[in-house]
Amino acid sequence: MDMADQYAVIGHPVAHSKSPKIHSLFAQQTQQRLEYKAVLAPMDGFSATVRDFFLFGGLGCNVTVPFKQEAWQMAQQRSTYAEQAGAVNTLMRQADGILYGHNTDGIGLIRDLQINQQYALTNQRVLILGAGGAVRGIMQPLLETNPSEVWIANRTEATAAELVGLFERQGQVRSSGFSAIQGRFDLIINGTSASLQGDMPPIPSTCLDADTVCYDMMYGQEPTIFLKWAKQQGAERCIDGLGMLVEQAAEAFLLWRGIRPETTSVLTTLRASL
């Protein structure tokens, strides 16, 4: 009996990862023979862990916090999304042995919004909270949908301004601190990790109304603090990041296996297990 193809998610911590569950559901559905496990890398041993994984026959791996920048450095070839994001969340060993790095986070977010949520981004005014790696990873795919404006607000304004410098050639991008946000937005995306600490970015309530779609890149059993706040302000559509997680995984699966799994049923199963 030949061995199933090996895939993994590598991170620290990694035990909480839903990726093994997601990819095993994808594999069942598409009848692909593969094994996908969670691998804990020591904080100072990421590259060694990755090298060993591929040395022993691994074909591809996902990379989670805090190793996405390190994975970017390791990749010998990178997709334009990975290049722009400055982070890699998907690695694949190509037939020629070259280590290829991709970033599927932004594609995952956009597919969740456009396909699962049926939300058209073209000509929309978008506010993004936060300016860290997660936000940098979604900028290019977001700008490709031609929103009318993307406003990046961050606690440290200089970090947000840096992102504007990187992406302003691709569309209308501007930045400010949280308190200087002006006007109403069609879509607000929370890309800060504040949700996990139960900490709400201090943004003016004038930036949203009942029709503003509010999206948190984080997810949990309960709505995040940002989504709770948005609901209190009267926003009718509040969406968490579980769909983004499943869609970015589907994008990695497509890269590795050449087949795109159906995500709706997987999302339903996952939602029920929260």
Which is catalytic among the residues 18, 21, 37, 68? 68
- Does residue 68 have an active-site annotation? yes
Distances from the Cα of 164 to the Cα of 139, 157, 169, angstroms: 10, 11, 9
Q: What is the DSSP string of 184-224?
A: --SEEEE-STHHHHT------GGG--TT-EEEES---SSPP
Cis preceding-peptide flag for 141 (omega within 30 of 0): no
96 φψ region: left (φ > 0), alpha (ψ -120 to 50), beta (else): alpha
Q: How does strand 99-102 pair with strand 90-93?
A: antiparallel
In angstroms, what CA-CA distances link 237 with 113, 169, 214, 221? 12, 31, 6, 17
Q: Which helix (H) or strand (E) holds 61?
A: strand 60-63
The DSSP 8-state label assigned to residue 56 in this structure reads: T
Give the closest residue to 104 by CA, choosing from 234, 271, 8, 248: 248
- How far is Cα 139 from Cα 174, in angstroms, rounded to an integer? 12
Q: Which tokens is 236 given?
A: 């009718």
Q: Which are the catalytic amino acids?
A: 68
